[in-house]
Structure 1
């Protein structure tokens, strides 16, 4: 079926001025959510596996089954895009992704009152820099490093006068503040430390009196005390934006829709297999419930802290299940689950696995092999592949006779057709039925899914696609065999060789896609690399050898040999060819290879191709120019090769002083391709 193109009416459109990425605040998470998840159980005890209301599998967040509907939008699994929920945490926890940013902010503020640790002179100096609009990322990153470096030098708060030391990570997602490291009142510190050691020596021999552990609740209170005037120095945005320091600490977590964490019904055992994220959310709800019960019943402080640490750990594993520093006994002996980070990063993640490396229809993949007889624009498509790759051709008065022949040929004979779709939307497979009758009933407006034929626009790609020339547009040429084939001169942009490489071919399905491919991606308009403006598609391998042997100063040819070489190589010129007078008349008329090349440049006197080029050959050693004894300086005057042999320096890629670049620059793509298609070999 032909894809309907999007048509922009231009009415009621808005122009996007900028896109800004910020940290989601707890209020935004709750506002975007459809329900609050509080239940620790997944299913009710009714034997029918009904999801618990306000649980991690509540149907208001969508559905992962064809037999049920979403309770929010009343749509099925295919139509419903899913809806978010959220879990409110009883106690705040650190976000494992923002942990380094939290440490940097704590290093810049007082750990007692939350004031910025900057001297008045430094504050005045940085105020002019952070106040500039549209600061680039690199400038902002450099400025942040300078502010942190200056803040580390201030050890006494200028507002409350309290001591401030080094803030560092201790253990898994724990922050330690060495408050008295730079303290001047040494006797007071020693007395405090000795008293603390005496009182805690029995229970906590490892604790240090001078080290203060900052839990998430303490850090959250500190961040809330940061004044609006100090926020710009943290380079996190102003008071009216969502990028506030308090947003770096988790107070609630979003619960993703059920469609990205489906429940799989087990065929062997009775029950279901739940997704890793669903189980983590269920464990977080369980820990929330345990913290509430301990708070209400007045349980032991040690148990309360243990549950808090466990909640911190489960929230971190939900985001990144491969975090370092987590004890093995906490995550169990089995393989750890996949967190949000694991679903995004790596080869199997969303970006590389699903967005960059999509699985598409109307494409083929096979081993590549060289074919010097193909043009630069052509790619050889195996006949078996061309019978599977189809194009939806609409029946018009101009092509109805041809399409009737294709319909009669059917799917197993090339060129043929696989399917036909009438204007009413009725689709028929042409392997069965009376194809002759179907072809006679063909009407204008019907769509025939015909085989890929010679001249079809195809996209050719080799992975890894490192630059835009890794995928280009070619014209199909149906050939026997099983391999995709193309001219060796096009190997450089694909970085391809023929030692077992595989490449992909795509057949565009609309006229608009074909037009875009021809204008933007055709390899005849991509002869020059955007990196430095040099040719990337030029003669290589056998073409260079043949050109060098042909233009050698000792190469002479009889008339029939010269005519055969010119017509074999220049059969695509579609021009009248005038053979020049022979260079040697007696005893036998002989033509030089330089004359043959000159004839290819300018086949007759009426041709307007007058190529002029003076350049050094590959073996040029710095002798006098023009008529050198070793024939290494190339001179082309008015399309006549007067001196020099055409070697890699004159025909190969990687330089602007070669024949193809001069032809492309002075006479355009068409004339450059005519000479590039010349078969030197």
Structure 2
């Protein structure tokens, strides 16, 4: 028996559980799975669901023949229809037990046919918890056999979805207005970037990144000593950008990738990517070029330069191409990939002996009173800090030695380098050394009487008694090492659970607060033509949106500028080759820049105008330096050489 207060309050109470709950019709829920052959903005829907979910389509002169065919198909055959609603009487007739031929013959303009969900229909796709705007987006339906929802794996990131049993929800808009709004505002191609920072959120993941980094590496030992051509044209990018060789899309991109070291085009890891007019000149494609979270992403550049349709088409071609390549090429991780070599074992033993010796020296100095305490710390705290630093450095040095001993064809190393999955730390822990286990940033405290575990002597502060795991996952952990390892893992699980509850409750309070603001302002807020944020009745909420008038989703440059001026200059140079026209002086550039700013950007943001002026000043400085250099024509050059 619950009291009146208990019946009302809480998540299961009368208000939140019944009165304010949102219950909907025309929705579906099932398990999700990937399908790289689907377009980025498509979702595969099982036929069983398509037979149940309907859309009320009004009969007119353009669709009356199709509606009659759907009525004749009936309820149990897809595509078909479930109900017919008479325009005049409003009577709703079920087609399962009625004479379908009669209803098809008597169908007239204005009647409503509740037809089955069909290819191309606009649907809403959602995964809970819905933590941000991109947790629910609109897709185009694709009716397929099977029992699961299917979509392209590039769209996993905004939904925070994986395919280990996750379920998602589907909603079918029931009016033409709702379909139009969902298609224009909530479509996948209209939400490729996150509104938080403007970085791409829908991009290639995991297997797609791996295949793209491997597919254009064709160096062979027998041809390595031959002099290569000045630039090897790799046709991969051209096929991804467009399937038409006469396409006007000419992608230009110059950026270092994830493993870049130095020397630009001469980087020893081939990690400086140059794409010029759609041709891949040099560099390896990896997470920095294909993944989310980077404004040097190839698809992000296409989105800004050529539009959202070009970006999602290229992404779709990329997923199909890499899937077929990887299924034919093959890629797997075996025990041999994580087996340490004899040289690595010797180097690891040397590093452990050296590190243990230093730790014993620190302990001996503390016992003899010779250890100098760090500022603000006791002798014991100083000892813990020194030992923790030394043991952490052992793992780092063992990890570097492990990576140096691995072949470049090692499967885990390949995945880590291209950003597909895993990290260099994961590899070193699998092969070399797991390392020091930390709890709240410190070595495991003494849980029993003056010792961490009953397996050790009291007051013992050596590395093995304080959570250092010298074994790797390949060699296997000892029982005590396993205990320490589970301590750190348990702390991570507790943190995850607590933070999830705290952030969820904080978000709910913020949402309720904004709902109160919305009700106070009567309607939703919008940005007016004068730049102020107002309610529907004209009340001013903010004089400038976000205090600076800038939308993070539209910021192209990484430094906060609205336009990536460096990229635009490089792009313009590539698509418009140099001509024999007379060069512009610095003063001429300034005059021309001011004319353009006044004529075309007169009402633009002051920050944008200032950024353009500063950028032009830098170009003028570089141009004046170049103009002072000695000039050579072909005759001068021939005379100089010969």
Category of TM-score, reference length = shorter chain: 0.3 to 0.5
